[in-house]
């Protein structure tokens, strides 16, 4: 095998954090450039649509795609990359699960536009101008791309071979995945390239987990000080650890803050949110209906806590509000 393998990076509705995590290879980035040819990276390299269209199938071994999908242009690009590349990896929470932008599936497009261009306290817009997909300004014709009503995960648009979880995927996870791909040492297709266990099992606080939990109410970090060593759930803080896959190094925990679930659900789980709901209820102590209701009432924002990163990937995918145009 004389030629270096070729890889491609592409981004959809993304924040750029997934690009930064690659640069966080620091000195090792230069090793990556030695080992592979990067055939596409729209924000860094000069390759354009016609170059990709000219690739022979299989010429570029793997496409790493980050970002959620909600523009028709993004759909075109990811479908083209799927056609050309034998391997497609969903890179990061947004491509894997929808990510935080996926929370827009709890809102209607109309509300988003009205809040931004009409009701914002700093916007001065008496003529109620809204950005248009197509408009004429003094005889000049201009257009903007079309947004979908719904944010989608990558695998809701194309078939995905592997998932690199995390917001963003930790740099060492990325390095391990790239190495595995280049060596051809991969688990079965459809796998998430991270350990097959939940975060609690690798958490630095796990030894402080009680044998039996008996929570009567949830606390909020806004109005209390978390202990730096005890299990967050045992302290009464909502922590997504039990319903989240391990592999991130528990950096948030080391920062003395609870997990918010960016690695997605553990293996075998269909829905991260309902899994977490089930766990929290199990940890409660209420034994009558009133106490159970009181307990439930102390959890602020179940949807946003359970589906912080995974709303588009959930069973319900979006709330009723998102259906309004």
Partner 1 sequence: MADAQFEPRIVGFLCRWCSYTGADLAGTSRIQYPPNLTPIRVMCSGRVDPTFIVKALADGADGVLVAGCHPGDCHYQEGNYKTMRRYPLLLRLLDQFGIERDRVRLEWISASEGDHFAAVVKEFTEKIRALGPLHWNGKALAPAVAEPV
Partner 2 sequence: MSKRITVNPITRLEGHGKIEIFLDEAGNVERTFFQVPELRGFETFCLGRPAEEMPRLTPRICGVCPTAHHMASTKCLDDLWKVDPPPAAKKLRELANSAFMVEDHYIHFFFLAAPDFVVGPTAPAAERNILGVIAKVGMEIAGQVIRVRRECRQMLQTMMGKVIHPVFGVPGGVSRGISEEERKQFLETAKFTIEFAQFALKLFDDVVLKNKQYLDLVLSDAYTHKTHYMGLVDQNNKVNFYDGQVRVVDPTGKEVAKFVPRQYRDYVAEHVEPWSYITFPYLKQIGWKGFVDGPQSGIYRVAPLARLNAADGMATPLAQAAYEKMYDTLGGKPAHATLAFHWARLIEALYAAERMQELLEDPEITSTEIRTVPTQTPEEGVGIVEAPRGTLIHNYWTDGDGILTRVNLIVATNHNAAPIAMSVDKAAKGMIRGGEVSEGLLNTVEMAFRAYDPCHACATHALPGRTPLIVTIYDAGGSPVRQLRRDG
For partner 1, the binding residues (CB under 8 A) are: 106, 269-271, 273-275, 277-278, 280-282, 284, 286-289, 292-293, 295-297, 299, 301-303, 306, 315-317, 319-321
**Per-residue burial over 21-45, b = 16 or more CB atoms within 10 Å of its CB, e = otherwise:** bbeebeeeeeebeeebebbbbeeee
Name the residue nearer to partner 2 (CB basis): 22 or 161: 22
Give which of 262, 265, 323, 306 is closest to 105, Cα–Cα. Answer: 323
65 binds partner 2 (CB under 8 A): no
Judged by beta carbon distances under 5 to 8 A according to partner kind, the member of partner 1, partner 2, none in contact with residue 72 is none
Cα–Cα dist 32/39, whole Å: 13
Stretch that binds partner 2, among 20-28, 153-161, 187-195, 203-211 (CB under 8 A): 20-28
Residue showing tokens 């095998």: 1
For residues 261 and 253, the answer to whether their CB atoms sit within 8 Å is: no
Judged by beta carbon distances under 5 to 8 A according to partner kind, the member of partner 2, partner 1, none in contact with residue 45 is partner 2
204 binds partner 2 (CB under 8 A): no
Judged by beta carbon distances under 5 to 8 A according to partner kind, the member of partner 2, partner 1, none in contact with residue 5 is none
Stretch that binds partner 2, among 25-33, 176-184, 268-276, 279-287 (CB under 8 A): 25-33
With a CB cutoff of 8 Å and minimum separation 6, the contacts of 216 are 284, 285, 286, 291, 294, 295
Name the residue nearer to partner 1 (CB basis): 42 or 304: 304
Name the residue nearer to partner 1 (CB basis): 181 or 238: 238
24 binds partner 2 (CB under 8 A): yes
125 binds partner 2 (CB under 8 A): yes
Name the residue nearer to partner 1 (CB basis): 263 or 307: 307
Two tokens, residue 56: 């022979």
Judged by beta carbon distances under 5 to 8 A according to partner kind, the member of partner 1, partner 2, none in contact with residue 16 is partner 2
Two tokens, residue 62: 């793997």
242-271 residues in contact with partner 2 (CB under 8 A) are 251-257, 260
Omega prior to 66 cis, within 30 of 0 = no
294-313 residues in contact with partner 2 (CB under 8 A) are 300-301, 303-304
Two tokens, residue 319: 């709330």
Stretch that binds partner 2, among 131-139, 202-210, 239-247, 287-295 (CB under 8 A): 131-139
Diameter over CA atoms, the chain: 73
Rounded to the nearest whole angstrom, what is the least distance from the CB of residue 282 to partner 1 in the complex? 5
241 binds partner 2 (CB under 8 A): no
149 binds partner 2 (CB under 8 A): no
For residues 239 and 281, the answer to whether their CB atoms sit within 8 Å is: no
Judged by beta carbon distances under 5 to 8 A according to partner kind, the member of partner 1, partner 2, none in contact with residue 325 is none
Judged by beta carbon distances under 5 to 8 A according to partner kind, the member of partner 1, partner 2, none in contact with residue 306 is partner 1
Give which of 261, 259, 262, 89 is closest to 167, Cα–Cα. Answer: 262
Q: What are the backbone dihedrals phi and psi of residue 69, each rounded to the nearest 5 degrees, phi first?
A: -115, 120
Omega prior to 279 cis, within 30 of 0 = no
Judged by beta carbon distances under 5 to 8 A according to partner kind, the member of partner 1, partner 2, none in contact with residue 269 is partner 1
131 binds partner 2 (CB under 8 A): yes
Q: Containing H/E element for 40?
A: strand 37-40
Q: Containing H/E element for 283?
A: helix 272-283
Rounded to the nearest whole angstrom, what is the least distance from the CB of residue 189 to partner 2 in the complex? 28
**Mapping DSSP to helix (H, G, I), strand (E, B) and coil, where does residue 11 land?**
strand
Two tokens, residue 99: 């990510």
Cα–Cα dist 22/32, whole Å: 10
């Amino acid at each position: 095998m004389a030629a270096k393998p070729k890889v491609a990076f592409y981004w959809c509705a993304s924040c750029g954090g997934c690009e930064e995590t690659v640069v966080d290879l620091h000195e090792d980035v230069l090793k990556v450039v030695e080992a592979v040819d990067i055939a596409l990276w729209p924000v860094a390299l000069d390759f354009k649509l016609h170059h990709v269209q000219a690739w022979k199938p299989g010429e570029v071994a793997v496409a790493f795609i980050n970002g959620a999908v909600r523009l028709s242009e993004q759909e075109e690009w990811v479908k083209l990359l799927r056609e050309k590349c034998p391997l497609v990896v969903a890179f990061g929470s947004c491509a894997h699960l929808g990510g935080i932008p996926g929370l827009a599936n709890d809102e209607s497009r109309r509300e988003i536009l009205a809040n931004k261009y009409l009701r914002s306290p700093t916007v001065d817009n008496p003529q109620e101008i809204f950005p248009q997909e197509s408009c004429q300004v003094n005889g000049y014709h201009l257009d903007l791309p079309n947004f979908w009503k719904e944010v989608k995960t990558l695998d809701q648009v194309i078939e995905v071979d592997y998932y690199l979880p995390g917001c963003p995927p930790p740099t060492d996870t990325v390095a391990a995945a790239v190495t595995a791909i280049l060596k051809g040492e991969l688990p079965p297709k459809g796998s998430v390239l991270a350990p097959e266990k939940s975060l609690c099992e690798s958490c630095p606080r796990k030894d402080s987990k009680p044998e039996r939990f008996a929570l009567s109410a949830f606390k909020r970090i806004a109005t209390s000080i978390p202990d730096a060593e005890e299990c967050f759930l045992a302290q009464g803080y909502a922590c997504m650890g039990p319903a989240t896959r391990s592999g991130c190094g528990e950096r948030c925990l080391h920062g003395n803050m609870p997990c918010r679930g960016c690695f997605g659900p553990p293996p075998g789980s269909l829905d991260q949110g309902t899994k977490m709901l089930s766990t929290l209820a199990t940890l409660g102590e209420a034994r009558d209906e009133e106490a159970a209701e009181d307990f439930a009432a102390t959890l602020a924002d179940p949807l946003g806590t359970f589906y912080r990163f995974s709303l588009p990937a959930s069973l319900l995918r979006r709330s009723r509000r998102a259906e309004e145009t």
